[in-house]
Structure 1
Amino acid sequence: MPGRIQAEERRPHFFLSYARSRYRPEDSDRWVAKFFNDLCHDIGQATGTLNPGFMDRQIPVGSEWPDQLADALANCRVFVALFSPGYFASDYCGREWAAFLKRYHAQTAGLNRPSAIIPALWTPLDIKEIPESLHTLQNVPPEFPPAYATEGLYGIMKLGRYREQYKETVLRLATVVKDRAAECALGSSPVPTLQTLRSPFVGRTPGSKRPAIRLTLAAQSIDQLPPGRDTYYYGRTPREWTPFRSEDHTLPIGAFAEHMLSELGHQSIVEIADEPPQEPVDAPGVLVVDPWTVKDRVIGKRLRQIDREPMHVLAPFNSGDPQTAAAVERLSDDLAEVLPNGTALKGSAAYVSSPGAFREALPKVVAEALTRYLKTTDVHPPQTPPSMPRPTLRDPES
């Protein structure tokens, strides 16, 4: 019994679901972190809980995010969704929402329980910017300060004249979280694997769906490695390649990239360089290549073919890997020799030394790949004339 009570006390009161900023991702979420800490403080005061809330920034870069997120989603009492235009564009936020909702429905089927999902406005939103299925949610309770509805949490945090209204908003939100947790009384229960879920938002909000990104991995499996190469960073297949593996970073680079692309609002189409795709894919592409791989007879030949119509390149060079550190110059020359066009593209990063550097480089290379794709993709005009005549400019006095 004492163990069970202790486990209950350590459950997070709320799970904060939010979209990471696409601009300067290394520090742009500090305002979200401040809000999270302020809300945790007020909930802690109101409930005396040991664990007021969960925010994924608590997880070290490159660790097993999906498992830890799933654990928090399986144990939190309520789900706080930080509404913003980026939130509904993020496939990953949508999957967090779907995972929690399945858990909620499994426990409350046939019961008269209030919603355990609490929206919080990060930025002011027009009703058209919110998916139609969420229009019935009470986004701004009447007792909240008026500036909250007009400026959103981010606005009243940034503007000094609203400091007191910000404090009141957070305090009232803490009260909602406390009361809703008690009313819903959700027990801990497993949630589906996040990768198996679909976002309920993608395609539901005008302009929210972003193009998929074709992510090509060029790496060897353990049985393909050259003699003497350390097997620590490799697995049974190229998908298990983990160039930055350490105690704090155990996620394969492909899964790490997929997770980041989800944060950016993109779905991923993952391919292996030496495996022909099942069907042609028309999408902006990023090639993540192991510099140790380019001299492999089969993979090297395939990379030369890819470079005829080059893709943007990201090449992890783990500075903590003694073999890589000792062979940087040779590996860099090999990479440039096999992929001269891709490595020369604006945005390509032919030397990425750490997980943090990879997190910084990927959004930049995706932006450049998307820009290049939109410039080079054929745009097909409508085949039939519009049914309405084109509008013409009129004099203001007419």
Structure 2
Amino acid sequence: MLYFFLSYARGDDDDSVQKFFHDLSKEVRVHAGLAAGEEVGFFDVHSLEVGATWSPRLVEALSRCQSFIALVSPRYLLSEPCGREWTIFAERVRRYERDVGVTPSALLPLLWLPPPNLPDAVAALQYQNDVLPEAYGRTGLRQLMRLQRHQDSYYDLIVELARQIVQTAGAHRVPTTGAGIDFKDVQSAFHPRATGRAAVPRQPGHTQQVQFVVAAPARGELSAEELATIDRDSQYYGATSVEWAPYRPTLPVPIADYARTVAERRSFRAEVAGTAGLAQRIGDARRGNQIVVLLVDVWSTMLNEYRQALAECNQLDQNSEEPVTAIMVPLNFDDLQGQRHRRQLTDSLRAIFYRRTVHGDDVMFRSSILTHQAFDADLQVVLETARNRVFTNGTVHNRPQGQAVRRPILQGP
């Protein structure tokens, strides 16, 4: 039996996470009466933050574990993979509730590094334990592990948590996940689905939101009249614009998914959309102090619909010395067709973004990004530059008089 699955955000002090996993596994074995070395938990040491697909071992473990331990932190709440893991296990618990009429204490969020605000899905399920000191609510479990004066409280937590995990596994058998789930379609518990308009942040003035807008044709649009004489290679395209994957086969995932993981590593909350309503989206984002990054396929500049949308976007930045809207143009070095038509494509791009290419904001306009490694590096620079510009030049929002903001009071895990 797999007693528990440990869900965490990669980069949140991985050595301490690994120690926590080993301490908890050891104590679960003691309570379950199992031999040393017996597998009782799952801890994925391989990062999903670089666009990798879900490993078969992770999928199998998430489908059959009997408890789900979430190490909650700001990075965790920004991570789409973590939110999807939560959704899958929470659905298993709901199925058990419907079938049996009992709610098992199997989904257990722990405050690893307390975020300023907790989503409702997390706040409603805080793990309760009287052994933890008041410092847990302020600094989290990670800090308790580091401070010698809290070592007794830390190990008391491990013992109590292991006891509950084993007890839950014995009393409730949470049903397994059915086969055939497409994990890219699973909705993260912490991320709302994108709509036609830019989402307005809950707190105006929040600068951590980035909108990735993909300007690329869907596979069905490659037969358009403007591209009829070229017969564009379809391997880089999908059923929708946002499935564009310009760095295949080296990076098989869509560039928007890859961009989102890069942004999450830098503590941005990210959304992805196509070019529909682009001017409105940029306007809403500016009023909400959000960042917009256009991911532009140069081939889309040959198509009238996309060329018009991009031209409208360019007009919005005409009077800005330091535009917040960024433009990134992946052009795979291994895409021989793209390299062969590079001059024609570059001219088409320049005709739309003439001011940017000639008078040059080279920080926020990145053309001909030849590899996904270069894209990663360029995007990090773009995001930090845009964040600084929003901070300096963004819209100031004054809170209405009498409106108080309450920090959640955490009652211990």
Q: TM-score range by the shorter chain?
A: 0.5 to 0.7
Q: Does 33-42 or 103-112 show the bigger shift?
A: 33-42
Question: Alpha carbons of 1:297 and 1:277: their partners in 2 closer, same or farther (altered >3 Å)?
Answer: closer
2:243 to 216, 235, 240: 240
**Counterpart-to-counterpart distance in 2, 1:195 and 1:73:** 16
**Counterpart-to-counterpart distance in 2, 1:29 and 1:353:** 32
**Counterpart-to-counterpart distance in 2, 1:241 and 1:72:** 30
2:131 and 2:156 in contact (8 A); partners too: no
Number of the residue aligned with 1:393: none
- Equivalent positions of 1:121-136 (< 5 A) are 121-123=111-113, 125=114, 129-130=117-118
- Equivalent positions of 1:110-129 (< 5 A) are 110-123=100-113, 125=114, 129=117
**Counterpart-to-counterpart distance in 2, 1:108 and 1:78:** 15
Does residue 214 (structure 1) correspond to residue 214 (structure 2)? The answer is: no
- Equivalent positions of 1:373-388 (< 5 A) are 373=390, 378-379=395-396, 386=401
Number of the residue aligned with 2:274: 271
- Equivalent positions of 1:274-289 (< 5 A) are 275-277=276-278, 282-283=284-285, 284-289=291-296
**Counterpart-to-counterpart distance in 2, 1:378 and 1:207:** 9
Shift of 1:372: 3.6
Question: Alpha carbons of 1:13 and 1:227: their partners in 2 closer, same or farther (altered >3 Å)?
Answer: farther
**Counterpart-to-counterpart distance in 2, 1:174 and 1:359:** 40
Q: Deviations over 1:112-165 (max 9, x none)?
A: 454111233312x49x85567766756463456998677534335556x57976
**Counterpart-to-counterpart distance in 2, 1:255 and 1:227:** 28
Number of the residue aligned with 1:290: 297
Question: Alpha carbons of 1:287 and 1:137: their partners in 2 closer, same or farther (altered >3 Å)?
Answer: closer
Shift of 1:71: 5.8
Number of the residue aligned with 2:367: 350
Number of the residue aligned with 2:4: 14
RMSD over aligned Cα, in angstroms? 4.9
2:48 and 2:81 in contact (8 A); partners too: no
Number of the residue aligned with 1:341: 356
Number of the residue aligned with 2:197: none
1:42 to 23, 26, 29: 26
Number of the residue aligned with 1:365: 382
Compute the TM-score of the two structures, normalised by the length of structure 1.
Answer: 0.67
* Aligned sequence identity (%): 25
Question: Alpha carbons of 1:324 and 1:230: their partners in 2 closer, same or farther (altered >3 Å)?
Answer: same
Shift of 1:359: 4.3
Q: Deviations over 1:296-345 (max 9, x none)?
A: 56534543432233420222233443445677788667655643528725
Structure 1 unaligned regions, length at least 5: 1-8, 22-27, 389-398
Provide the aligned length of Structure 1 versus Structure 2. Answer: 364
Structure 2 unaligned regions, length at least 5: 193-199, 286-290, 318-324, 404-413
SS at match of 1:250: coil
Number of the residue aligned with 1:395: none
**Counterpart-to-counterpart distance in 1, 2:365 and 2:142:** 33
1:209 and 1:265 in contact (8 A); partners too: no
**Counterpart-to-counterpart distance in 2, 1:66 and 1:134:** 25
**Counterpart-to-counterpart distance in 2, 1:231 and 1:135:** 45
2:213 and 2:295 in contact (8 A); partners too: yes
Question: Alpha carbons of 1:208 and 1:174: their partners in 2 closer, same or farther (altered >3 Å)?
Answer: farther
SS at match of 2:269: coil
2:369 and 2:375 in contact (8 A); partners too: yes
**Counterpart-to-counterpart distance in 2, 1:325 and 1:285:** 27
| Matched AA of 2:105 | S
| Matched AA of 1:97 | W
